[in-house]
Amino acid sequence: MRSEPEYDIAIVGSGPVGVALARRLVGSGRRIALIEAGDARHRPEDEAGVQAAARLTPQSHPAGHLYRRRMLGGASSVWGGRCLPFATEDFAQHPARSGWPIGYEDVSPYWAEALDFLEAGEPVFDEAAFAVPRPWAGGRDVIDFDQIERFSKPTDVWKRYGAELAASDGIDVLSNSLVREVLLDRESGRVRALDLRDTRTGAARQLTARRVILAGGGIETARLLLASRSLLPGGIGNQNDLVGRSYMTHLIGDVGTLTYSGAVPFERLDYRLTRDGIYGRTIMRLPASLRAAEGLPNVLWRPNIAPIWDPAHGSSVLSAMHFAKHLVAPREYADRLAAQGRLGEPQSFSKGFGGHVMNLVRHPFALVAFAADWTRRRTLAERKLPSVFLRSRNASYALELNAEQYPDAGSRIGLSDQVDRLGMPLVTIDWQAGEATLTGLKRSLVLLQDGLARAGIGRFQYDPELVEGQIAPQGGHHMGTVRMARTPSEGVVDTTSTVFGHPNLHVAGAAVFATSSSVNPTLLAVALAMRLGNYIKSQERWT
């Protein structure tokens, strides 16, 4: 006689998605296991070995371990906090993408709860959200300059909710427990157990659960499904060779320069507090109607500070930042900045040394004033100013873009023949932007240049020949590797986030995204997790 499973639900991963699911399901009468390969301590020396990519193509893609965290709370410990929902059109079909099998209306009921969980305030994403609105009446037909990003504190979800979960009845937090394989029942295709390894000792055990939810992120979830080969040689959910494919991450970079006209209130360029005390910032986009008519990807732009490595900016603050990021920033943080092109060329530190020193000598009081304000609003504040933005003396700003990547089957996460110390195969990352993405991005820049001028916001100048060299994969937003679709020939999970052919196996998080939009994926990932939690609570228990 078959014994009862240890748990009703096993959640693999304790990042924002896993913790949101656990909180959603606690109190439902189910016995829950929240499984995490790490513990409360970040061990970068260990992560580099177990989360590194055996092959990384192209080299402009950040190293495989830089934005992943094997610890309680997952990558929320390095999350910047940006929250903005996907737009209605992001779910629709498009010449370069098939779209989602669900619509905006299926996830929008969860925005408020997801924002509350992430401590990012109310679901208001326009000028009306601010404590002191700065109206602007013109140019809406050529530039959308009304939407805002909201910012979490940023919230480390384990520091915020870990004690609450640990004290809750009906849930066990299993740290230092790596899931090495999902084990299936041969006849039914259902999950029968999880193969665990203690990450400290290597000891093996099996855990049984009636339902399993994989919430380990876009890379780790694909890795685990592909590595679960005891019964299916190609891995679970991979009968059509779709697991790991269509890997998307946003394209980012400073492209060109915006000379601001002053016609729009300057406050719209900067961080401001909303009426509920949240930092927010207005973004620029092409109008949705124009993007649809032209068949363009979703791209957003933000004014940015001048490149800190170039002393020609004349700012003592930016020169001090340049020295700090080269000399005292933690190695991993510096690696992420370098991957994004934020530190300049390797020789830029020595080449510009004298110019930076002169900036410090010429403007010491500006640096002192900034340091005091930064300490108050960032270092000592619970809700932190998201980043540095300074008013330019010559009204000139770098223009930072964050662009949608269309899904491309050739862009993929795979497995290598190399394994980590616990026998888990290392991943390969083969990232491709695709010609449709790049062509659409270049056309968007042409329309942006025209739109900014016609709207009176300012003059945008850029060199079309340099664009591809100025953008890079963001590398921290891992989306689309376990795609949601209507049929198994199109994706890996159905509209309930259930893996096709495996009725008690679910996937939560950005891995299931069918499109990437141009916004941070965390808000939508958490909203989808809450939706999945409701679905699971609605199901009958089974033996």
Q: Is residue 485 part of a domain?
A: yes
State whether residue 16 is helix, strand or coil: helix
Q: Is residue 244 part of a domain?
A: yes
- The type of residue at 83 is C
- The type of residue at 393 is R
- pLDDT score at 349: 63
Contacts of 111 (CB under 8 A, 6+ apart): 85, 123, 523, 527
Residue 340: pLDDT over 70: no
Residue 541: pLDDT over 60: no
- Band (pLDDT 50/70/90 cuts) for residue 305 is very high
- Band (pLDDT 50/70/90 cuts) for residue 543 is very low
| C-beta of residue 457 within 8 angstroms of C-beta of residue 303 | no
Q: Is residue 22 part of a domain?
A: yes
Q: Is residue 451 part of a domain?
A: no
- pLDDT score at 348: 59
How far apart are alpha carbons 367 and 358 in whole angstroms? 13
Strand partners, 419: 425
Split into its structural domains, the chain has a count of 1
Contacts of 205 (CB under 8 A, 6+ apart): 196, 198
Residue 507: pLDDT over 50: yes
Q: Is residue 53 part of a domain?
A: yes
- pLDDT score at 483: 98
Query: Where would I find the beta strands (DSSP E) of 200-353?
Result: 204-207, 209-214, 251-260, 272-273, 279-282, 284-285, 299-304
Alpha helix (H) residue ranges in 261-363? 288-294, 316-327, 331-339, 348-351, 353-362
Query: Where would I find the beta strands (DSSP E) of 348-431?
Result: 396-403, 412-419, 425-430
Of 68-72, 311-315, 331-335, 477-481, the range with the lowest mean pLDDT is: 331-335
The DSSP code for 375 is I
| C-beta of residue 341 within 8 angstroms of C-beta of residue 253 | yes
Please name the helix (run of DSSP H) or strand (run of DSSP E) that holds residue 523, with its range, or none.
helix 522-538
Q: Is residue 79 part of a domain?
A: yes
Structural domain of 415: 7-119+155-249+411-431+477-538
How far apart are alpha carbons 392 and 270 in whole angstroms? 12
How far apart are alpha carbons 59 and 515 in whole angstroms? 24
pLDDT 10s digits, 142-165:
999 999 999 999 999 999 999 999
How far apart are alpha carbons 44 and 332 in whole angstroms? 8
Contacts of 5 (CB under 8 A, 6+ apart): 208, 209, 210
How far apart are alpha carbons 186 and 45 in whole angstroms? 39
- pLDDT score at 374: 92
- Band (pLDDT 50/70/90 cuts) for residue 540 is low
| C-beta of residue 412 within 8 angstroms of C-beta of residue 223 | no
Task: Dig out the tokens for 353 from the structure.
Answer: 């040394």
- pLDDT score at 542: 44
pLDDT 10s digits, 52-68:
788 889 888 988 888 88
Residue 338: pLDDT over 70: no
The torsion of the CA quartet 332, 337, 343, 345, rounded to 10 degrees, works out to: 90
| C-beta of residue 415 within 8 angstroms of C-beta of residue 44 | no
Q: Is residue 275 part of a domain?
A: no
Per the prediction, the chain carries an average pLDDT of 92
Q: N- to C-terminal Cα distance for the chain?
A: 12
pLDDT 10s digits, 116-140:
999 999 999 999 999 999 988 777 8
- pLDDT score at 55: 86
Q: How far is CA 48 from the centre of its chain?
A: 20
How far apart are alpha carbons 489 and 239 in whole angstroms? 9
The region that residue 350 occupies, defined by phi over 0 for left and psi between -120 and 50 for alpha, beta otherwise, is alpha
Of 38-47, 219-228, 469-478, the range with the lowest mean pLDDT is: 38-47
| C-beta of residue 481 within 8 angstroms of C-beta of residue 222 | yes
| C-beta of residue 409 within 8 angstroms of C-beta of residue 246 | yes
CATH number for the domain that contains residue 66? 3.50.50.60
Q: Which of 194, 195, 189, 192 is nearest to 239 (CA)?
A: 189
State whether residue 449 is helix, strand or coil: helix
| C-beta of residue 292 within 8 angstroms of C-beta of residue 367 | no
Query: Where would I find the beta strands (DSSP E) of 474-520?
Result: 505-507
| C-beta of residue 254 within 8 angstroms of C-beta of residue 398 | yes
How far apart are alpha carbons 510 and 521 in whole angstroms? 6
Region 281-288 average pLDDT: 97
| C-beta of residue 480 within 8 angstroms of C-beta of residue 189 | no
- pLDDT score at 243: 99
Residue 500: pLDDT over 70: yes
pLDDT above 90 coverage of the chain, percent: 78
pLDDT above 70 coverage of the chain, percent: 93
- Band (pLDDT 50/70/90 cuts) for residue 1 is very low
Q: Is 372 exposed, middle or buried (0-12, 13-18, 19+ CB in 10 A)?
A: exposed
pLDDT 10s digits, 208-243:
999 999 999 999 999 999 999 999 999 999 999 999
Nearest 5°: phi and psi at 267? -55, -25
